[in-house]
Homo-oligomer: A and B are copies of this chain.
Amino acid sequence: MKVSNKKEDFLQESLKLIHEKGFKATTMRDIAERMNFDVSNSYNYIKSKHEILEGFLFGTSAEFHSAMDNVLSSSYSPDEKLKQIISSHITIASTKPFEVALMVNEWRNLKEPKYTEYIKLRDSYEEKLGSLLLEGIEMGVFKAFDITIAKSVILSSLRWFYDSYATNNPNINPIELERQIVSFLFKGFLE
């Protein structure tokens, strides 16, 4: 069992720095300084700066897709499935907040053809959710909102979690967070 690995260290420090300063504003020199070695050493671990971004973005995207696929192919009802999806977002955001931060903030920095490839993954994820919402509406489980609006409201409501876990702030209890988010989205804010 590997206890520590310098390439992993390098990637994790890069990830945090990029989260702090933004991808473009983070230089290879910044990362090297954080690692206490010279710029040229960084290229022992990666071929290019963009490789760092691509690795995390596509890796974490795959986790979201995997969770989504497992939920959709289950025999749960649409509302239970939606609950599971919310749960998976909280789990990933609380365990990998910096990776999720990158997905939210830095995907625009991908270069072609990775950029187009990534957009397709995002669109595909949203379509999977859209099909679930549609199914729930047709079954009379969900209210008949416009699919685009419902999809955007739900995904937006899940997109800020990472921030609570990426900062030093007293973190929100993931279990309690899930309970309140589900209740808010399902039954609304009005008493």
Contacts and interface: CB of A to CB of B under 8 A. Distances in A.
Interface of A: 22, 24-25, 79, 82, 105, 108-109, 140-143, 145-146, 148-150, 152-154, 156-157, 159-160, 172, 176-177, 180-181, 183-191
Q: How many copies does the complex hold?
A: 2
A22 B141 contact: no
Given A22-B109, A142-B190, A156-B159, 18 more contacts: A24-B24, A142-B189, A143-B187, A143-B189, A145-B180, A146-B176, A149-B181, A150-B184, A153-B157, A153-B181, A153-B184, A153-B185, A156-B157, A156-B160, A184-B188, A185-B188, A185-B189, A188-B188
A154 B157 CA distance: 8
B22 A108 contact: yes
Contacts of A160: 152, 156
B191 A140 contact: yes
A140 B154 CA distance: 25
Contacts of A105: 108
